Amino acid sequence: MPKPQISLDQPTGVYLETENVILTCNVETHCSGKTFSIYKNDQPSNLPPVSTRDNSARFSFTALNQRGRYQCVYRCQSDQSSSPLSESVRVTIADPLTAPVVSLDQQSGVYIVGEKVTITCTVTGDYRYRTFYFYKDNNPLHSRLISTRDKSVTYTVTDVNIRGDYKCRYGYSIKGRGLESEFSNVVTPTLADPLTAPVVSLDQQSGVYIVGEKVTITCTVTGDYRYRNFYFYKDNNPLHSSPISTRDKSGTYTVTSVNIRGDYKCRYGYSIKGRWLESKFSNVVTPTLADPLTAPVVSLDQQSGVYIVGEKVTITCTVTGDYHYRTFYFYKDNNPLHSRPISTRDMSVTYTVTGVNIRGDYKCRYGYSIKGRRLESEFSNVVTPTLAVLNKPHFWVDSDAAAQGGDVTFNCSSPRDNPAIAFYLYRQGEMELVSVKSPAADTHSVTFTVKNIDHSGIENYTCRYEADVNGRNLISGDSDPVNITVRENSSVASLVAGIGSAVGLILILALLGLCLWRKGKRGGSSEPRDTVPSVDHSSETLTYAVLNLQTKQKRDKGQRRRDIAQVEENTLYAEVKL
């Protein structure tokens, strides 16, 4: 009897545990009533066939735990003979391929635009030579096989658009049968926009701060209102140990250190699905530290601060420090004195008050600009000019008439609110200072005695006084004038008249004698003439004398005075010693 032939539905004989093994036993003989049976590892098996035909039978069983060597035989019912065993076939049971695990290099699955996505497909088991396959949205990512003995393999997505569903699977061959795993899990990268660099700014736009001022730094970002952490740095060192967290688009930090000088910058960060993203550093801002402006000193041109009506008040505003280009402002009773500021590099500037009413409180301040920030000082001290009004003195005389050569007593008193320190007596006609006197203690008046008044007629006298007003000596205006009538003394007048007549008589006799002498010398005639010569005698030389008699004031002893005698052609002078 010929041997039967045995075959497997899997030519490689490799089965997974869950697969069914189908054995087929064929024979080419024409005996009737054939029956088929199976041997496993040389032992008969009671596994019945699932189907039988005239010359073949099929056996089926689950591969689990059924690895081994299988043979078949047949028996002919007609002669009860059995065939020899067939050749053997081996059933190999392979462990099922576990699904791989796919993962992203970013555990959170979050990627910033421009970042590459690296996918890793990982398997378990022994180190077989495997082939890996990667898919995006169920489409293969590569045309070439990726084969390796490693238990994991990576694939880098170079596409700009990384969005999609990624998975993988793998396979390997056992005795010529290729086995493939199920698909792995699916990973979906999240694409995030890159974090733009923030902008840092100072609360003082100019960046200029006065010593003692706090510096407030603001870090501003663009984008949506995520929950962010802000970080501030000075000279590349963190300014705080804990981040400043907020949903706002800006965060602020106040520098409390005394020394604010340095380079300041900031950055921010936030989390997306567990991945922490951080921005680049912002721009750098550097505050400028300026000394505070010292208050200026205001002063008046009159150190005493006392002014008389009509005087101008000149105010000086003085500062200390370097020669900045400054602007000065002057105030009276807190109101500006001028519409335009006074700008200069000088350390002081003056302003002249031209108004009639100078009374008020005056002060000043100044300012200048550093890198665009306007700095202004505090107000200066206050100066208050005093407007002094000295009322004219009270001036009177004991008697408004006096004899020439007599004495006159004048009285001058100052108001009690301005006690005088000195009094002055003037002869008003020539503004001639006659006398100066200081009053006695605790008095407000003095007396002037003018002795031996030698003028005749009406004389005008005035007085003034000098007073100390807050340290400034001021002189009052003139008092009302006092008129003194000076009368001539009668005995003196008679004496002067007699002397004048005698002098005149002597001069007349002297002139007549001279005329007669000259006439006798020319003509030899001694006949006297008592009339003026006629016109016929015009060839003769005649001398006429005109005598003017005036009462002159007596001069100092030894001084001479001249009376003048005039003629038509010649002048003859005669001196008389009085």
Report pLDDT digits (tens) over 462-487.
999 999 888 889 998 889 998 888 77
Q: Two tokens at 4?
A: 């039967």
pLDDT band at 500 (very low <50, low <70, confident <90, very high): low
- Torsion angle of alpha carbons 61, 63, 64, 69, nearest 10°? 100
Residue of 6, 11, 10 whose CA lies nearest to 19: 10
* 355-370: average pLDDT: 90
Question: For residues 325 and 368, what is the distance between their CA atoms, to the nearest angstrom?
Answer: 6
Q: What is the pTM of this model?
A: 0.57
Q: Two tokens at 454?
A: 């030698």
Q: Two tokens at 17?
A: 């545990």
pLDDT of residue 525: 41
Q: Two tokens at 401?
A: 């008439």
Q: Two tokens at 264?
A: 């300041």
Strand partners, 467: 420, 474
* 413-440: average pLDDT: 84
pLDDT band at 489 (very low <50, low <70, confident <90, very high): low
pLDDT at 422 over 90: yes
pLDDT band at 117 (very low <50, low <70, confident <90, very high): very high
Pick 37 or 322 by higher pLDDT: 37
Q: How many CB atoms lie within 10 A of CB 368?
A: 19
Give the tens place of pLDDT for each residue, 48-104.
999 988 889 999 999 888 999 999 999 988 777 888 999 999 999 988 889 999 999
User: Which of 159-163, 295-299, 381-385, 457-461 has the weakest average pLDDT?
Assistant: 457-461
pLDDT of residue 79: 74
Residue 377 DSSP symbol: P
Give the tens place of pLDDT for each residue, 220-271.
998 877 889 999 999 999 998 888 999 899 999 999 877 889 999 999 999 9
Residue 440, Ramachandran bin (φ over 0: left; ψ between -120 and 50: alpha; else beta): beta
Question: What value, to the nearest 5°, has the Cα angle with vertex 349 and ends 347 and 355?
Answer: 165
Residue 133 DSSP symbol: E
Question: For residues 21 and 30, what is the distance between their CA atoms, to the nearest angstrom?
Answer: 28
Question: For residues 47 and 74, what is the distance between their CA atoms, to the nearest angstrom?
Answer: 14
Residue of 353, 370, 180 whose CA lies nearest to 288: 370
pLDDT band at 504 (very low <50, low <70, confident <90, very high): low
* 147-160: average pLDDT: 89
pLDDT at 199 over 80: yes
Residue of 195, 206, 207 whose CA lies nearest to 231: 195
Question: For residues 123 and 101, what is the distance between their CA atoms, to the nearest angstrom?
Answer: 7
Pick 127 or 562 by higher pLDDT: 127
* 522-534: average pLDDT: 41
pLDDT of residue 463: 92
pLDDT of residue 496: 47
pLDDT band at 456 (very low <50, low <70, confident <90, very high): low
Question: For residues 112 and 278, what is the distance between their CA atoms, to the nearest angstrom?
Answer: 11
pLDDT of residue 416: 85
Q: Which residue has the tokens 């002078």?
A: 573
pLDDT band at 294 (very low <50, low <70, confident <90, very high): very high
Pick 261 or 321 by higher pLDDT: 261
- Is 388:306 a contact under the CB 8 Å cutoff? yes
pLDDT above 90: percentage of residues in the chain: 50
Query: What's at 325, amino acid-wise?
Result: Y
Q: Two tokens at 132?
A: 């890996």
The alpha-helical segments, DSSP class H, found in 380-530 are 490-523
Write down the mean pLDDT value for the chain: 83
* 122-138: average pLDDT: 90
pLDDT at 549 over 50: no
pLDDT band at 547 (very low <50, low <70, confident <90, very high): very low
Question: For residues 215 and 287, what is the distance between their CA atoms, to the nearest angstrom?
Answer: 8
Q: Two tokens at 560?
A: 């001479």
- Is 72:89 a contact under the CB 8 Å cutoff? no
* 334-350: average pLDDT: 91
pLDDT band at 499 (very low <50, low <70, confident <90, very high): low
Burial call 249-288: b when 16+ CB within 10 Å, e when fewer:
bbbbbebeeeebebebbbbbebeeeebebebeebeebebe
494 by DSSP, 3-state: which?
Answer: helix
pLDDT of residue 243: 86
The full length of the chain comes to 578
pLDDT band at 455 (very low <50, low <70, confident <90, very high): low
